[in-house]
Structure 1
């Protein structure tokens, strides 16, 4: 900024939503607030697992009844739920993560004291599953063995935007069964998947109920990053090695660690399942995907390696011969565009940057104009 004091920065780095809440959601929240101002409508503590109506909506509309409503635990977001896994897993539990990886999986395990020491950028008690263009961003599962207790897997992946196929998820499920591990499947960006052949939930694949949790939220697909509402699915089929119920333990963890989601957030989320709410939801998804398409297309014209942005809200870009921070700095200095250096997502993110589509359309169009001018396309 000192070198360019008049520059107007365009933020395409952080994955935070920017568009106003749909009116149907706002109306539902207002109605709940008005009700809470009456003796008849006032409610105290929420149900710790979420109200039955929102759980039933999620079971029916999102999972097509592949899970039952009482297997769904509604919360204040998927990130807090991911943190709660630290209280479900035993001391010394080993996790496996994709690399590049959403940092919360690793950082929460570090705070939980389960990772050992960091050596050369990787923790000794974590198995890193390399995901890169050479393997189409799906890892070599043969590196996983019986020492692994939890496999954290995100699809569409943050940051790469890669989406696992049903065949790939079937292989992941088979490996989890083989080694006796649980899968923690993060579907936070599943609503952005446009290709009907790609699974939006791991429960679309046979056998998943026996080995997999699934987390998700309304943060990115309904603009709830500041409202806060997510959920985790814990099937009753999940069992520990001794046959004990994982569902029972997860119920205890959630009930102890949380008072449940806000009544106002729940009311807003329920409104999404109305006709007007689903229309608004789909429009938001298409808005952000439209942004991603604009960024993706101009970078392709500039002959860069570009991934994601079609079934996910992130565009993952590699500039050959440059490291992440050099590429970040080039976009910042030459175009006044803020991206996210890929090195922050792990060693396999080195050489890449991530562009987020969560921005006003006018800002994205200006960013595209600057990129086109910079690269002469």
Structure 2
């Protein structure tokens, strides 16, 4: 016969992780019982484990010194941490998040139904498939080429389907290696710089100027219409350029991109062009770098379904590496990138790729456009809100981001002020580089009711 030790529901989460999930406190739940052998006059003692300092074991593997160069946490997890802390402080307040650029509206059913069908098909003998081509489904690659690069000389073989543009940024850094010098827009998406640091392309972080050594920061501010003065840029091997830009929302004109392509040719550089927001463009700005003559000889383009179809969680993107793009020794860049892909990647999910094909069907393109238009209406509300309060407001027209200027103020202080007093999460501009100081980025991704409520709170705060 055995005695029973009941484990109370209030046991710590760390202990519950050891025993498994504990039942909830409802009328159907029962206490868990752990049987212990009965010993006459015995006592079950709990022995505390030694401290971490006593038990810590260290390997002899040296830490990657480049990781130690990184400053604090990655921007968006840090924002999430501060948001969580604020919610603990104000548990009864609805916190509205207009910070991280995560989509909020449901994926159109014409797209999800195709993914569901593909998923169910996998449960049949006829429909099951394992590993696919690392470069992506042949039909999807061809459809991306014909949809986004029609008449531009981009072929199916130039396109590599992936699990998202952010992942491809890191794969490209692996391709380029540690010896190249990078140039980046300032401000810009943090992944460009951080991946460069991790790869070993940079020097140490210089706190006095808020920059890493050996990176060329191309300042993009209102005074130069958010396009860098290329005459001031020193030699750079790889130029990361995002248009429409995250965070400023500015889209480069045809003339500006022509200058950029010519600059790359004159310097022998490679442009990594991020077009993840191209479908948000409302004017005649180029939607791809390959609209510019000569770009196939100097440019790679990365893009994604994340902000078009709500695929931030589904994960599907692509990278275009034209066959005309060659290294200094004449070797095709695409061949080396193909080797990187085949070595580091087993191909995008076949279910996600079925969704990608549905995105590019006539019905899918229509549905994506409707969703994008919804977010663009959100940007109009945000722009009108800050403009009515007298702020200088940029972006919003060609991108789902609004870039608001707070002259002379720390962007983290403004972030904290809006969070504390309006319970709205934004993104501090300095998180995108020193050129972002004095700005905040406001995301238009959000349910309409939340956008309207945030606008109301911000008006009350700054009226």
Report the TM range for the smaller structure's normalisation.
Answer: over 0.9
Q: Do residues 272 (structure 1) and 379 (structure 2) align?
A: no
Q: Compute the TM-score of the two structures, normalised by the length of structure 2.
A: 0.79
Of 244, 267, 291 in structure 2, the residue corresponding to residue 204 of structure 1 is: 291
Question: C-alpha offsets along residues 286-343 of structure 1, whole Å, 9 cap, x if unaligned?
Answer: 0111111101111000000100011100000012232202211221122111100111
Q: Quick one: higher RCO (CA 8 Å, sep 6+), 1 or 2?
A: 1
SS at match of 1:188: coil
Q: Which residue of 2 aligns with 1:303?
A: 390
**Which segment drifts farther, 59-68 or 352-361?**
59-68
Q: Is the 8 A contact 2:185 2:218 kept in 1?
A: yes
Q: Which residue of 1 aligns with 2:220?
A: 131
Structure 1 residue 124: deviation in Å? 0.9
Q: Which residue of 2 aligns with 1:171?
A: 259
Write out aligned runs for 1:1-377 (5 A): 1=86, 4-66=90-152, 67-120=154-207, 121-146=210-235, 148-195=236-283, 197-376=284-463
Structure 1 residue 96: deviation in Å? 0.2
Question: C-alpha offsets along residues 62-81 of structure 1, whole Å, 9 cap, x if unaligned?
Answer: 11142101100000011111
Aligned-partner Cα distance in 1 for 2:193–2:90: 36
Structure index of larger Rg: 2
Aligned-partner Cα distance in 1 for 2:265–2:363: 42
Question: C-alpha offsets along residues 56-95 of structure 1, whole Å, 9 cap, x if unaligned?
Answer: 1110111114210110000001111110112211432110
Query: What RMSD over aligned residues (CA atoms) do the two structures have, in Å?
Result: 1.2
Structure 1 residue 275: deviation in Å? 2.3
Structure 1 residue 7: deviation in Å? 2.2
Aligned-partner Cα distance in 1 for 2:348–2:166: 13
Q: Which runs of 5+ in 1 are unaligned?
A: none
Aligned-partner Cα distance in 2 for 1:252–1:321: 48
Q: How many correspondences in the alignment?
A: 374
Aligned-partner Cα distance in 2 for 1:361–1:4: 23
Q: Is the 8 A contact 2:216 2:234 kept in 1?
A: no
Aligned-partner Cα distance in 2 for 1:326–1:176: 38
SS at match of 1:221: helix
Aligned-partner Cα distance in 2 for 1:143–1:364: 40
Aligned-partner Cα distance in 1 for 2:326–2:245: 27
Structure 1 residue 258: deviation in Å? 0.8
Structure 1 residue 374: deviation in Å? 2.7
Question: C-alpha offsets along residues 89-124 of structure 1, whole Å, 9 cap, x if unaligned?
Answer: 143211000000110001111111111111122111
Q: Is the 8 A contact 1:59 1:65 kept in 2?
A: no
Aligned-partner Cα distance in 2 for 1:90–1:4: 46
Q: Is the 8 A contact 1:202 1:214 kept in 2?
A: yes
SS at match of 1:220: helix
Structure 1 residue 254: deviation in Å? 1.3
SS at match of 1:37: coil
Aligned-partner Cα distance in 2 for 1:142–1:65: 32
Aligned-partner Cα distance in 1 for 2:255–2:434: 27
Structure 1 residue 36: deviation in Å? 0.6
Q: Is the 8 A contact 2:182 2:238 kept in 1?
A: yes
SS at match of 1:307: strand
